[in-house]
């Protein structure tokens, strides 16, 4: 409607009222094409990065190609230097040294590269009723009923008795077999149907089908299991005892795919949080000579609470920045106090099938851009970094000036549940932190969905953040 046709009330509304808009209405056709192209490469990354180990390997291979050097804590770095630190093959820090001194603070991007999955127990293999099976212990917040009757791939590492590692990936190549956790047939599910959904499949029922063919021998027992051990021995030169020192897990075997007739979304495993890992990584690689030093951490263990020496409740990020500061003869705590961080993690997207879990005015929508979450946590904002209005205001101005389409959201209705991110661990060091990420449908499911425009706007937001002058 032309401006002259509007009533005074409509004009006042335009001037005063806030009306969020789908970024699809705001972005140019060229920019939308750019977002779609960006997600083609993202799908390739997702397929190659289904575990934190695979993701870390993929990232480090790329960093080496781009001229990043292993971090030396005793060295004094100068502007334009690019370094990375690998933490046990499960987490990575990369950094580019800026023109400004570290005393001016660093710009931190912090995402996580672990995703919910199903781990094997340390004595996984058994035989029952002439079927070979694996016992498992799930990792992170999975809804167990979603992980049955779907093809799974086996990933991980086995450390043999002599200390040699064996890498395992089965189920990713077109010719590979896959694995599956079976469910009951509906005909005999009368009792199971009475269970609550969270108990529909119990933890000890997440047993994986591994084989059914017996080793031909009259005397040996558990011949199906024996045949599996024979195959593992032939392929990897391992014995059953080697599972004791293994980290093996099952992840969805399917590849990332476009979703919808308009191909506006990507479905795949592990968007949480590799979508933020990827967007922050690409933004970082495009900013090799920043004004402020940027530090990008791709962490492990977020899905189990960030505990452990590859998670952000540990000190590996803190120590990295302290070492950088030491190289410039700067007090580490001064660096943290002057630093800013975008905690790069996903938020839940509004699902019209389940509107009752969200406050429609304060939740994230597919297509409305990067999500800023001022706070996360549960109940009365417990367990959260609640970003200050001042810092939120600063990022708001930065995004608006940089043409980043973004929205604000909290995770669900008050008291509906909740969740946290790594934000609080970094704000505990003294930095200003706010959560920025991509809205996700079916979060933590084997096939999560994100919107391509949101992925692209999140990347643009991270780029604007680390390009600050």
CB of 292 to Mn ion, least distance (A): 25
CB of 345 to Mn ion, least distance (A): 4
Sole window of 71-79, 271-279, 363-371, 398-406 interacting with Mn ion (rule: CB under 5 A) = 271-279
Position of minimal CB gap to Mn ion: 273
Nearer to Mn ion, 156 or 419 (CB): 419
Cβ proximity of 99 and 328 under 8 Å: no
Sole window of 267-275, 292-300, 386-394, 460-468 interacting with Mn ion (rule: CB under 5 A) = 267-275
Measure the CA angle with vertex 80, ends 79 and 82; round to 5°: 115
Measure the CA angle with vertex 298, ends 281 and 169; round to 5°: 95
Nearer to Mn ion, 192 or 442 (CB): 442
CB of 127 to Mn ion, least distance (A): 35
Nearer to Mn ion, 127 or 345 (CB): 345
Nearer to Mn ion, 42 or 68 (CB): 42
Number of residues lying near Mn ion (CB under 5 A): 3
CA distance 355 to 414: 14
CA distance 437 to 279: 9
Q: Looking only at residues 8 through 27 of this chain, which bind Mn ion when binding is defined by CB under 5 A? A: none
Q: Does 272 bind Mn ion (CB under 5 A)?
A: yes
Site string for Mn ion, 164-193 (x = CB under 5 A): ------------------------------
CB of 358 to Mn ion, least distance (A): 17
CA distance 14 to 9: 9
Nearer to Mn ion, 81 or 302 (CB): 302
Phi/psi of residue 145, each to 5°?
A: -65, -20
Q: Looking only at residues 329 through 348 of this chain, which bind Mn ion when binding is defined by CB under 5 A? A: 345
Q: Does 81 bind Mn ion (CB under 5 A)?
A: no
Sole window of 164-172, 219-227, 270-278, 357-365 interacting with Mn ion (rule: CB under 5 A) = 270-278
DSSP H helices, 220-312, are: 223-236, 271-285
CB of 116 to Mn ion, least distance (A): 6
CB of 386 to Mn ion, least distance (A): 18
Q: Where are the beta strands (DSSP E) in 346-431?
A: 347-348, 370-373, 377-378, 406-408, 418-419
CB of 273 to Mn ion, least distance (A): 4
Nearer to Mn ion, 119 or 345 (CB): 345
CB of 343 to Mn ion, least distance (A): 10
Nearer to Mn ion, 272 or 300 (CB): 272
Nearer to Mn ion, 101 or 308 (CB): 308
Q: Residue 319 is encoded by which pair of tokens?
A: 């120590």
Nearer to Mn ion, 229 or 277 (CB): 277
Cβ proximity of 344 and 462 under 8 Å: yes
DSSP H helices, 213-266, are: 223-236
Q: Looking only at residues 422 through 461 of this chain, which bind Mn ion when binding is defined by CB under 5 A? A: none
CA distance 267 to 345: 17
Q: Does 273 bind Mn ion (CB under 5 A)?
A: yes
CB of 281 to Mn ion, least distance (A): 16
Its sign, for the CA torsion 273, 274, 275, 280, is positive
Q: Looking only at residues 343 through 402 of this chain, which bind Mn ion when binding is defined by CB under 5 A? A: 345
Measure the CA angle with vertex 192, ends 191 and 194; round to 5°: 70
CB of 387 to Mn ion, least distance (A): 17
Q: Does 114 bind Mn ion (CB under 5 A)?
A: no
Between helices 271-285 and 52-65, what is the axis angle to 10°? Answer: 10
Q: Does 410 bind Mn ion (CB under 5 A)?
A: no
Q: Residue 395 is encoded by which pair of tokens?
A: 């990022």
Q: Chain centroid to CA 29: how far?
A: 29
Strands 294-299 and 107-112 come out as parallel
Of residues 443, 446, 456, the one with CA closest to residue 411: 443
CB of 439 to Mn ion, least distance (A): 12
Sole window of 12-20, 272-280, 285-293, 380-388 interacting with Mn ion (rule: CB under 5 A) = 272-280
CA distance 46 to 59: 12
CA distance 469 to 465: 10
Q: Residue 282 is encoded by which pair of tokens?
A: 């690409």
Nearer to Mn ion, 272 or 340 (CB): 272
CB of 160 to Mn ion, least distance (A): 33
Q: How many CA atoms lie within 13 A of 403 on its CB side?
A: 6
CA distance 249 to 243: 12
Nearer to Mn ion, 273 or 432 (CB): 273
Q: Which residues of 298-325 are buried (b: 16+ CB within 10 A; e: fewer)?
A: bbbbbbeebeeebbbbbebbbebbbbbb
Nearer to Mn ion, 54 or 97 (CB): 54
The residues of the shown chain that bind Mn ion, judged by CB under 5 A, are 272-273, 345
């Amino acid at each position: 409607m032309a401006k002259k046709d509007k009533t005074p009330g409509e004009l006042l509304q335009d001037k005063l009222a806030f009306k969020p808009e789908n970024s699809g209405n705001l972005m140019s056709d060229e920019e939308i094409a750019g977002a779609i192209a960006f997600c083609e490469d993202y799908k390739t990354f997702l397929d190659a990065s289904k575990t934190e180990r695979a993701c870390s390997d993929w990232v480090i291979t790329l960093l080496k190609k781009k001229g990043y050097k292993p971090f030396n804590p005793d060295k004094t770095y100068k502007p334009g230097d690019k370094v990375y630190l690998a933490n046990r093959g499960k987490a990575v820090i990369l950094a580019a040294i800026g023109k400004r001194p570290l005393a001016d603070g660093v710009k931190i991007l912090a995402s996580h590269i672990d995703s919910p999955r199903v781990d094997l127990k340390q004595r996984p293999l058994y035989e029952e009723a002439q079927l070979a099976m694996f016992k498992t212990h799930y990792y992170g917040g999975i809804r167990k009923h979603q992980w049955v009757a779907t093809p799974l791939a086996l990933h991980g590492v086995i450390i043999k008795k002599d200390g040699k590692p064996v890498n395992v990936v089965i189920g990713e190549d077109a010719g590979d077999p896959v694995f599956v956790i079976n469910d009951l047939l509906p005909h005999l599910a009368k009792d199971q149907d009475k269970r609550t959904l969270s108990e529909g499949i119990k933890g000890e029922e997440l047993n994986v089908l591994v084989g059914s063919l017996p080793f031909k021998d009259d005397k040996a027992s558990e011949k199906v299991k024996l045949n599996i051990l024979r195959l593992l021995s032939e392929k990897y030169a391992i014995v059953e005892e080697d599972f004791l020192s293994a980290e093996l897990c099952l992840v969805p075997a399917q590849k990332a795919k476009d979703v919808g007739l308009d191909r506006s979304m990507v479905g795949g495993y592990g968007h949480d949080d590799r979508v933020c890992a990827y967007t922050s990584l690409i933004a970082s690689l495009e900013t090799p000579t920043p004004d402020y030093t940027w530090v990008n951490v791709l962490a492990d263990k977020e899905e189990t609470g960030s505990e452990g020496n590859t998670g952000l409740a540990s000190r590996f990020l803190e120590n990295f920045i302290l070492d950088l500061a030491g190289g410039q003869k700067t007090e580490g705590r001064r660096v943290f106090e002057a630093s800013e961080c975008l905690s790069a993690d996903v938020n839940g997207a509004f699902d019209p099938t389940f509107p009752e879990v969200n406050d429609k005015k304060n939740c994230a929508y597919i297509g409305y851009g990067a999500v800023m979450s001022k706070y996360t946590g549960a109940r009365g904002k417990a367990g959260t970094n609640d970003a200050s209005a001042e810092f939120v205001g600063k990022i708001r101005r930065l995004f608006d000036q940089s043409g980043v389409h973004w929205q604000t959201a909290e995770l669900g209705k008050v008291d509906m549940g909740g969740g946290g991110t790594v934000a609080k661990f970094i704000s505990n060091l003294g930095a200003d932190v706010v959560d920025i990420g991509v809205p996700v449908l079916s979060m933590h499911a084997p096939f999560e969905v994100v919107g391509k425009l949101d992925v692209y706007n999140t990347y643009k937001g991270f780029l604007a953040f680390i390009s600050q002058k």
